[in-house]
Chains A and B, each alone.
Chain A
């Protein structure tokens, strides 16, 4: 293999995601193809990891860095040391076994592409966590695992249990992920880098920092929620609604290990303090005891295994919390062992569920007769879980016992620790025994819907392989797990690996005695309480305190009751109070500094008085005031007033030497008038007198005075601010740069346009995207819009004209319209090419003189709209296919391609270039890549404007139809799209 090792990391990370995309597109019943694909990908990952093993043994690290935002110290950094390797190998190998198992577990009715796609993506995200050398990158993959866990738990989303479990898991783990992110940010702030190597090397600095406690607590919140540790353990039993392969993979072998992985990973940086000992240690201890105790009382096989997982993860967390190198050895060792025996037990539980149709321990019995091989395998795995000698669980548990005997801070709890953990281990033994005894021993089962039998060989094969691993590690640990464990330890502890022994027999040590006591005590507990356990409804005392119920209550209170009360208190659906609040708030914010510091006007020279200009402004003011005055009851008149004020604004722009702005304002005015008139059609007419106003109408004059007051204050304030700004010397701002460099760097003399399409092209790119989204949203909303009942009938004018036409024998319906529109129609048809030419002219010369894509786009849209006005929707769409959505799509594509083309020349996105082109007859024309960009803007603006206006216009076509034909015929707007 000649592949460089750095590339292997990338491949290992990318392959599962690529496979996930591929898997999503296979056929929904392609179980075999999916399994082959997923299995092959996990095997390839595993092989690549095996190949790279020589490079990470003895403390070697494989690194691969891709610069991302180097200015902020953010690099995409993959890093594999021994510890990461062990975890990655675990993820890939158990992933392979789970895929094999899932092939037989899923029924032909299940949509397999979704399952395997999510599973592979999860595998990729999990590999991302362990291979991340950058902590922010780690958090990213961390959140991805939460997301895919959510999707996989909710795989059978038809059942409420799956949905609730998935939601709870997502909320708990992603809230934890959020805390983790905050913690990582603090950690990065302390260290000055998010680089894992640097963080691990600055342990002393971190521990001495005043932010150590917040960082520690936040990171622990992330790790403990992920690993389902007390008090966040409640989501894991709920997550058992997932398909069993998911439970085996995510919720026992890998994802829940993410939390303890992170703790071990950051232990050199964060550990070694009393806070660590107490926070991590106590969370682990409580989870260990509580999980073991509750597991004993579960009647559901998977529930038992879930609580057992919480308990074992608690054991690992406790070890990490004990804060000594030897404890880390035990923690890593148990982490690997737990993955093997718990995954095999989950798979066995899944097989039993699959073959018998139930997971209830009370209904299962005597299955040993029907499935002897599965029974044997499950017994060995359960024995490993209980810590029976000659199995892997025994070895790591003995190490664990030895660690609890050690003195840590010599508190009362520390002294009592060996007794407490022995007690808890009795429960471990008891529930392991109960699992086996209830399911496989006793009389043959009754009340089962079918006769159970052995599953297909390949479904049992993964279980067998994992159990074999348990046995091999348990019997010859030095040969099997020894080197791997040493590699992992080398990565975590550096060269200072403490001496530990993996031998099976250490003599009659205290920890061996503890094991013996635990096993015999566990057997005794089970035998004593056996009959009680079968009828018990949950654990005594604790059954009343249920984490998930408290969680649900809190969730309901926060997201439903509290939110509704807040909405009642502050929310309103009426526009006027909303605007009033908004304006008053803005007024206050504006006035506060004015009162605090006063307002000064500068001494710049004022422009001289001009009679014509003053006259025009008087007209503008009169129009604006009239619009406000008539806005409520004479909408048509108000619209004309607004148009007059708009025109005065345009003239002012021209007068004050801003022709670019004037041009844009002018076309926008035109389109706005069309838009408002289109809307006006659907507003109901004024109801002159309400029949007997009840309750009597309140006097509204005080309200009007108040509103006038607010409006005047607001306008005066804005005017004063503008005056204050304009009368002082222009500060030396970025504007100067644009003025000086527009031609030199952008190749255009129209500075506004160069800013839009070159200097600030990325902003423009964002803006046109937003414009496109808005247009599509308007279209989508109007497609289902039904006008008010009052305005749905044909307008009065049309009605009377139709009546007149029909009454005359020589006339046909529609003649009045035809004769009235003859000349305008001709004019508008003739003007169509003229306006189009103007639009193209404005577009092409926009880079140097007033114009540009936006103005040109609206002008073009006006040309189209005019044809609609002249001929009506039906005729126009028969003769002119405009397809606004295609225009928009083309516009976005063009801008994106122009931007991306800069990459071909190894320049940043949207870099522009320009040169001159000699065209015969026309001469030398400037040719900037920004022009192409502007063409994209043009196309998008045309599409968006036409789409929105026509969407309103189509209401007419629709309302003419009868309700029955409306339901059957496709919407006419579909032709537009």
Chain B
């Protein structure tokens, strides 16, 4: 792996970490429950991207699969949280 790529991956990881921190701030701070849910969703998206950077660094496809699973199932938590806020219960 070239020097360039290594640096960019590290930078990307740190920046993604910062993005996660921003999302976490929104989760912790609120103030509304809806803000927390949106923050939570973006936390998932950032985590998924972080996994992709691992994939690039190691060259293993396993990480892409893990990212795929997050992409596919990560929204489920968001959906049920949102549904709960909308209707007061998840399954009617």
Contact = CB atoms under 8 A, between A and B. Distances in A.
Nearest to A626: B28
B91 A872 contact: yes
B47 A681 contact: no
Given A647-B44, A866-B79, A655 B54 contact: yes
A869 B91 contact: yes
A613 B88 CA distance: 36
A680 B88 CA distance: 9
Q: How large is the interface on A (under 10, 10 to 19, 20 to 34, 35 or more residues)?
A: 35 or more
A639 B40 CA distance: 11
Contacts of B39: 640
B91 A873 contact: yes
A869 B77 contact: no
A796 B89 CA distance: 10
A667 interface: yes
Given A637-B36, A673-B80, A859 B89 contact: no
Given A678-B91, A869-B83, A611 B28 contact: no
B70 interface: yes
A643 B28 contact: no
B87 A615 contact: no
Contact of A798 (B18, B27, B36, B87): B87
Interface stretch (A405-413, A831-839, A933-941): A831-839
Contacts of A654: 51, 54, 63, 66
Contacts, number: 155
Given A659-B63, A659-B66, A615 B21 contact: yes
B33 A637 contact: yes
A839 to B, nearest CB: 10
Q: How large is the interface on B (under 10, 10 to 19, 20 to 34, 35 or more residues)?
A: 35 or more
Interface in B11-68: 13-14, 16-18, 20-21, 24, 27-28, 30, 33, 36-37, 39-40, 43-44, 47, 50-51, 54, 62-63, 65-66, 68
B76 A866 contact: yes
Interface in A804-863: 817, 820, 824, 828, 831, 834-835, 838, 849-850, 859, 862
A950 B77 CA distance: 17
B16 to A, nearest CB: 7
A465 B39 CA distance: 91
Given A651-B50, A797-B88, A798-B88, A869 B80 contact: yes
A525 B9 CA distance: 110
B11 to A, nearest CB: 10
A898 interface: no
A674 interface: yes
A644 B40 contact: yes
Given A612-B13, A654-B51, A670-B73, A796 B65 contact: no
Contacts of B74: 666, 670
Interface of B is mostly: helix
A805 B68 CA distance: 40
Given A678-B91, A681-B88, A667 B73 contact: yes
A956 B28 contact: no
B87 to A, nearest CB: 6
Nearest to B65: A850
A663 interface: yes
Nearest to B73: A670
Contacts of A868: 91
Interface in A631-687: 636-637, 639-641, 643-644, 647, 650-651, 654-655, 659, 662-663, 666-667, 669-670, 673-674, 677-678, 680-681
B73 A862 contact: yes
A923 interface: no
A831 B80 CA distance: 15
Given A612-B13, A873-B91, A824 B84 contact: no
B14 to A, nearest CB: 5
Contact of B24 (A623, A678, A872): A623
Given A647-B43, A680-B84, A953-B90, A611 B79 contact: no
* A622, A678, A869: most-surrounded residue (chain B CB, <10 A): A869
B36 A640 contact: yes
B5 interface: no
Contacts of A674: 76-77, 80, 90
B24 A619 contact: yes
A654 B68 CA distance: 13
Contact of A953 (B20, B69, B85, B91): B91
Contacts of B73: 666-667, 670, 835, 859, 862
Interface string A250-291: 000000000000000000000000000000000000000000
A666 B20 CA distance: 17
B73 to A, nearest CB: 5
A795 B13 CA distance: 42
Contact of B66 (A618, A663, A797, A866): A663
A613 B79 CA distance: 28
B79 A824 contact: yes
B27 A869 contact: no
B86 to A, nearest CB: 6
A677 B78 CA distance: 11
Contacts of A651: 47, 50-51
* B10, B13, B14, B77: most-surrounded residue (chain A CB, <10 A): B77
A213 interface: no
Contact of B27 (A618, A640, A673): A640
Contacts of A680: 84
A636 B69 contact: no
A850 B65 CA distance: 9
B62 A850 contact: yes
B90 A677 contact: yes
A2 to B, nearest CB: 67
A138 B33 CA distance: 68
A616 interface: yes
A677 B79 contact: no
Given A623-B28, A849-B62, A678 B90 contact: yes
B27 A644 contact: yes
A372 B57 CA distance: 105
A670 B36 contact: no
Contacts of B85: 636, 797
A865 B76 CA distance: 10
A516 to B, nearest CB: 91
Contacts of B17: 611-613, 615-616
Contacts of B72: 831, 834-835, 838
Given A622-B28, A651-B47, A636 B33 contact: yes
Nearest to B28: A626
A837 B88 CA distance: 31
Contacts of A659: 62-63, 65-66
Interface in A607-621: 611-613, 615-616, 618-619
Contacts of A662: 66
Contacts of B81: 636, 639-640, 673, 677
Contact of B89 (A795, A834, A862, A950): A795
Contact of B92 (A613, A618, A831, A873): A873
Contacts of A801: 87
Contacts of B88: 681, 794-798
Contacts of B10: 612
Nearest to B22: A619
Contacts of B47: 647, 650-651
Contact of A872 (B68, B77, B80, B92): B92
A663 to B, nearest CB: 6
A678 B88 CA distance: 10
A957 to B, nearest CB: 8
B87 A616 contact: no
A666 B69 CA distance: 8
Nearest to A855: B69
Contacts of B92: 872-873, 956
The 4 closest A-B pairs by CB, nearest first: A795-B88, A615-B17, A953-B91, A612-B13
Given A670-B76, A798-B88, 8 more contacts: A616-B17, A616-B20, A636-B85, A641-B28, A654-B66, A677-B81, A795-B87, A817-B86
